[in-house]
Amino acid sequence: MAVEAQAGKTDTRARLVEAARGLFLKQGYAATGIAQILKEADARSGSLYYFFPTKEDLLLAVLEQYKELLWPLVIQPVFDRVSDPMERIFGVLDGYRRMLLMTECAQGCPIGNLALEVAESHPAARTLIAENFDGWKQAIEQCLDDLDGRLPADVDRKSLASFVLTVMEGGIMQARAYRDSAPFEQGVAQLRDYFDRILDDGSNWSKG
Amino acid sequence: MAVEAQAGKTDTRARLVEAARGLFLKQGYAATGIAQILKEADARSGSLYYFFPTKEDLLLAVLEQYKELLWPLVIQPVFDRVSDPMERIFGVLDGYRRMLLMTECAQGCPIGNLALEVAESHPAARTLIAENFDGWKQAIEQCLDDLDGRLPADVDRKSLASFVLTVMEGGIMQARAYRDSAPFEQGVAQLRDYFDRILDDGSNWSKG
């Protein structure tokens, strides 16, 4: 019985986080009301306040969950399917393109949305947003490290990984503004052109 | 008297738009209440509903104003100061860097914020957001056209101008998430490196 009650609690908490995650992604943090979260999660307000005394606590739980799901949901499936480090980077980016196509560009990057909406008003959330970005960039940096020998020695890998995130987020923003995946796809094509030019230099450099 | 009444009306409308503009920029669209706009504009609710029957009408007016102010406030001052087309592009980007520094990265691009917050829920606003982006990219494209002879003939200028906007917006997002202008500056440095590589090709190409 105690075990069942515990399982029920865990289940309610998970439903609340999942409902909030979906609503924040679809309509934003400020536009999402507590009543809507309760309805979507099929939960009572007592449960909500038990697990999450404030709406911000729920936001933090959502951001913690994104951190936990980054590797299993976003990175690892690409790394399992693709072995070339350069293609792994573009495989991760392609995941976002497919998400744009599936949602007709209605849905963007959940972390990017929250970065612009709550970074200023919710400092604890801002820290978790930055940690989500850190994790994403570490995955890209790992690919750059694995390119070893093809990248010129003077390339700053941290800066280049950050640039990949910049292009991803800026491209998604334009795709959403135009409701068209083309600006995202063009951005990724420009990034690939940039990588080709850098790698060309790398091969010249290692021959030199 | 009729003229004074007209001037008063124009003045009230302008104060409402300015108050809404500032509040949407600081805290977002959904988080901004009508009462707060009235207080900031020092206006009565009757005036607000006279000029703007809905909050969305006010949002559209704000976005129209951004469109009108793009050239006089963002582009022309840089073009007046800088004549080299390539440096004009980086001069526009530098304006955003200075804005980030001045606000300690609290304030981003108003159009980018709204793109992620309201594009899905407010189709008329989305159209105006896209038009703001169009205007910005046209200014960059004009610089690329003015680079004529230095750019290889096969460079797609529309796509490259779109990439500059992507890098600007993605860089600002990271600067806000980290409350640090460094990711923005690194992104711009990577973009400059990319331009240098493209222009190098251009000079080889015209020599070839």
Residue A7 has pLDDT above 80, yes or no: no
Domain end: A53, A70, A97, which one?
A: A53
Which residue in B93, B88, B131 sits closest to B111, CA to CA? B131
Q: Mark whether A62 and A126 lie in a shared domain.
A: yes
Contact at CB, A119 and B179, closer than 8 angstroms: yes
Q: Which residue of A120, A128, A133 is the best one to mutate when testing the B interface, meaning the one whose CB has the most B CBs within 10 A?
A: A120
Contact at CB, B190 and A133, closer than 8 angstroms: no
Q: Mark whether B48 and B92 lie in a shared domain.
A: no
Mean local confidence (pLDDT), A155-172:
98
Q: Which of B121, B173, B190 sits opposite A169 (nearest CB)?
A: B173
Residue A31 has pLDDT above 50, yes or no: yes
Residues of chain A contacting residue B110, judged by C-beta atoms under 8 Å apart: none
The pTM of this model reads: 0.94
CB-defined contacts A:B, below 8 A: 139
Q: Mark whether B36 and B104 lie in a shared domain.
A: no
Examine the predicted complex and report whether its ipTM is higher than 0.90: yes
Q: Mark whether A92 and A181 lie in a shared domain.
A: yes
Residues of chain A contacting residue B186, judged by C-beta atoms under 8 Å apart: 156, 159, 162-163
Amino acid in the structure at residue A168: M
Residue A208 has pLDDT above 80, yes or no: no
Q: Mark whether A38 and A66 lie in a shared domain.
A: no
Quote the number of domains for chain B: 2
SS in 3 state form for chain A? CHHHHHHHHHHHHHHHHHHHHHHHHHHCCCCCCHHHHHHHHCCCHHHHHHHCCCHHHHHHHHHHHHHHHHHHHHHHHHHHHCCCHHHHHHHHHHHHHHHHHHCCCCCCCHHHHHHHHHCCCCHHHHHHHHHHHHHHHHHHHHHHHHCCCCCCCCCCHHHHHHHHHHHHHHHHHHHHHHCCCHHHHHHHHHHHHHHHHHHHHHHHHHHC
Q: Mark whether A9 and A98 lie in a shared domain.
A: no
pLDDT of residue A181: 98
Contact B142, B67 (CB under 8 A): no
Contact at CB, A166 and B187, closer than 8 angstroms: yes
Please write the tens of the pLDDT for every residue from B11-37.
999 999 999 999 999 999 999 999 999
Of B205 and A149, the one with more pLDDT = A149
Residue A27 has pLDDT above 70, yes or no: yes
Start-to-end Cα distance in chain A: 72
Based on its alpha-carbon atoms, the radius of gyration of chain B, rounded to whole angstroms, reads 20
Mean pLDDT of chain A: 93
pLDDT of residue B85: 97
Q: Mark whether B43 and B63 lie in a shared domain.
A: no
Q: Mark whether B35 and B76 lie in a shared domain.
A: no
Q: Mark whether A12 and A100 lie in a shared domain.
A: no
pLDDT of residue B149: 82
Domain coverage including residue A60: 56-207
pLDDT of residue A42: 96
Q: Mark whether B196 and B131 lie in a shared domain.
A: yes
Q: Mark whether B189 and B102 lie in a shared domain.
A: yes
Domain end: B17, B37, B53, which one?
A: B53
CATH number of the domain residue A170 falls in = 1.10.357.10
pLDDT of residue B207: 42
| Percentage of the residues of chain B whose pLDDT score is greater than 90 | 89
Tokens linked to A44: 């009572």
Residues of chain A contacting residue B159, judged by C-beta atoms under 8 Å apart: 186, 189-190
Mean local confidence (pLDDT), A132-144:
98
Q: Mark whether B111 and B194 lie in a shared domain.
A: yes
pLDDT of residue B76: 98
CATH number of the domain residue A5 falls in = 1.10.10.60
